Amino acid sequence: MAAEVADQLLQIEAIRLQPKQPFTWASGWKSPIYCDNRLSLSFPKVRNLIRDSLTRAIQHCFPEVEAIAGVATAGIPQGALLANELELPFLYVRSKPKGHGMENMIEGKIVKGQKVVVVEDLVSTGGSSLKAVEDLRKAGFEVLGMVAIFSYGFPIADENFEKAGVRLAVLSHYEALLPRAVQKKYIDDEALKSLEVWRENPSQWNP
């Protein structure tokens, strides 16, 4: 599954690999990879593959789930699709409180004690994802874990999720992506080496 999802994300250019023309992340890091899984929503075949795969992941890892929570913004449409497929309540978590009206941090019916699975599109360090978990817990939900489409697999993310006591299930990840990118000729051996070096120390990487 990890290889198949990576193939589809590469094909629709939701994942782009440019070691010689790196992207700049919001953190300031230079990166040879950019992942925008929101593009999958525009491709029915890929959208359905992701929905069905996430559904199976939830049924396998978190069978006692009672509600689905998306992380704003990219986790909202994926979460809504999942909640509809599983016939479960849906809510979403804002990155900051709404600036007017009820000033909600969480949109949707809050049921204290309800068992919820969080949906993300992408996990890097896990900071924003785990902030959503913290907000849900403060509101009284029992967070069973999180599912995501793709993870860079940074050790710091593993540490952060373990520290927060959150189980993470992802459809695909960096380790599965690189061999497929070479096999499908999206990158050559030189680019592969650069991508491997970046993965070891992304904050210090230079093209």
Q: Binding-site residues, please? A: 94, 98, 100, 120-128
CA atoms of 135 and 71, how far apart (whole Å): 11
DSSP state letters, 120-133: EEEESSSHHHHHHH
Q: How many helices (H) and strands (E) does the chain have?
A: 7, 10
Instruction: Identify whether the C-beta of residue 189 lies closer than 8 Å to the C-beta of residue 23.
Output: no
Binding residues for orotate: 124
Instruction: Identify whether the C-beta of residue 136 lies closer than 8 Å to the C-beta of residue 155.
Output: no
**32, 63, 177, 178, 182 from 56: Cα distances, Å:** 31, 10, 21, 24, 28
φ, ψ of residue 86 in degrees (nearest 5): -90, -5
CA atoms of 86 and 89, how far apart (whole Å): 9
How many Cβ atoms sit within 10 Å of the Cβ of residue 207? 13
Binding residues for 5-phospho-alpha-D-ribose 1-diphosphate: 94, 98, 100, 120-128
CA 73 to chain CA centroid, nearest Å:
11
